[in-house]
Amino acid sequence: MNRGTLIRVAVTTGLLFGGWILSTLVVHPYLTSSVQAASEDVEVWVEGPWAYADDPRPGHDGIVLIAPNANSINHLPPAVSHAGGDSPVGSSIIAINNLTTPSPCPSPCTFHSSPDVPVDKNKLISLLNAPAGNYIISIPRPDYYEQAVTQSSRLRYGWWDECRPFNPPHTPTNKNCHNSSADDKFVTQMILHYSVTDLDGFTLDMKAYDFEDRRFIHIFMTPQGKMDPCDTDGRRAFGGLIGLFKLKSAEPLYIDLRSPNGPYASDDPPNAANCLDNDPQRPGHLSMAGSLTDSISYLEAYLISPAQGAPQRARDSFERIDWFRILLPREQQSIFDTRMNAVNSFLEKIEKVRTPDPSEQIKAVQDLIVAVTLINRHDGSGACRNPLLPLNPI
C-alpha cells in the first residue's frame, strides 16, 4: 500500500469515527454536558368555581386562582392532587421545580374563555392579602392555557327580568337584552402548561411532592350532593364567586344555565315553570334552606326526631322541596302533591304535639321519600358547568 492510499484510509477512518461520535452525541445527549436536555411538559388541571388573574400585587409575577368559601356554595374544600394523594389548600403557594424557557402554544391554539371581568385592583389585592376563609392559590404564570372542557352558559350584567318573555310569539321588554348577553360554550376546565428541565415535582406551601402520573397536578373543588333540575348550587356557586370582587360595572354579573333537556330559564315567559324565580342570585331573593339535598336530609331527620330539630328550619326545608313541583311532568304533580300534603299535615301536627305517634312518623318519612324520588337529580351540584372566570384588575 503506497503513502497516498494510507492517507486516504486514515482520513476516511477519521471521518467515519468522527461522524459516529457526532451521531452518538445527537442521539444520546446525556453522554455530553455540552448538549442541552429537551424540556418536559407539566400540566396543571384546574376545575371548579374558580376565577383567575395575573397577580396584581407588587413583586408577584405569577397568577392567582380564587374560589369562595366551600360552606357558602355547598362544596368540599379545594385540594391539590399529587403522587401521594390529595392535599388541602387555603391561602397556598405552588412552586414548580426546574422551570425553563416557556414553550409556545401549539397550533391551533384554542382557548375559549368567558369575557374578562373588570374588577377593582385594590379590592382584589386586599382579598389576596386577607382571604377571610376564601381560597387563594398562587402559581407561576403558565407557558400557555389550554381548554379541556367547555359548557354552555349565558352571562349578563343585570338581572334577566327585562329579557323575559323571549320565545316567540312573546316579545321581551328590552329587545336588545339578549344582544348584551355573552352566550356560548366557555371553558369550565383548563390546563396550565409549564416547561421544565426535569420532572422532579413541585412544592405546595414549601412541602415537596412528586407529580401525579409523572407530570400532572390537579386542582379541584368538588360539589356535594346531587344536582337539582335548576342547578341551583351551580348558580349559587357563581353568585358566591362574583360576590368576592368589586366589579367595575354598574350592574352585577349573573349566570344562566340551560336545563338538562331544555332552554335557558331566561328564555321562559314570566310565571312559567322556570328556574329564575328561586335563583339564589336573584336580587332581593330570600334564600331557602340551603341546597335541595340539605333540605331533604334535614327534613327527613326532623320527621324521625322532631324533638332534636328546629320547627322553622323544618318548615323552610319543606318549602324548598315543595317548590320543585313546578318542574315535574304534569302526570307526576298529583302524586307529588298527595305525598307532600301528607308530610305537611304531619308537620302541622307535631308543631302542636312534639311527641307524635311512631306509625305516623314512619308514614311521613315514606311519603317524603316517594315525593323527592320524583325530582330528577344527578350526582354533582353542577358548579363544574360554570365558566372559569378571567379577571381584569383595573
pLDDT at 283: 85
* pLDDT top residue among 98 and 311: 98
pLDDT at 229: 75
Average pLDDT over residues 298-318: 89
Q: What is the pLDDT of residues 316-343, one digit of tens each?
A: 889 888 877 876 777 888 999 999 999 9
Please, which pLDDT band fits residue 8 given cuts at 50, 70 and 90? very low
pLDDT at 109: 86
Distance CA 254, CA 239 (A): 7
Please give the grid coordinates belonging to residue 33: 454536558
Sequence-distant (≥ 6) Cβ neighbours of residue 91 within 8 angstroms: 131, 135, 136
- Lowest-confidence range among 95-104, 194-203, 328-337? 328-337
* pLDDT top residue among 204 and 160: 204
Average pLDDT over residues 20-41: 49
Computed over every residue of the chain, the mean pLDDT equals 83
Q: What is the pLDDT of residues 219-274, one digit of tens each?
A: 999 888 777 778 888 898 999 999 999 999 988 999 998 876 667 887 766 555 56
Distance CA 214, CA 20 (A): 33
Distance CA 211, CA 217 (A): 6
Distance CA 70, CA 134 (A): 8
Q: What is the pLDDT of residues 109-164, one digit of tens each?
A: 889 999 999 999 999 999 999 999 999 999 999 999 999 999 889 999 988 876 76
pLDDT at 347: 93
Query: What are the sequence ranges of the domains in the chain?
Result: 1-35, 40-229+382-393, 292-375
- Helix, strand, coil proportions of the chain in percent (round to 5)? 35, 25, 40
Give which of 113, 130, 143, 144 is closest to 57, Cα–Cα.
Answer: 130
Distance CA 345, CA 128 (A): 50
State pTM to two decimals: 0.74
Helices and strands per DSSP (H, E), number in the chain: 7, 17
What is the b/e burial string over 346-370, where b = at least 16 CB atoms within 10 angstroms of the residue's CB?
Answer: bbeebeeeeebeeeebeebbebbeb
pLDDT at 290: 55
pLDDT at 107 over 70: yes
pLDDT at 110: 85
Q: What is the pLDDT of residues 161-191, one digit of tens each?
A: 767 655 554 555 555 566 668 888 899 999 9
Distance CA 223, CA 70 (A): 9
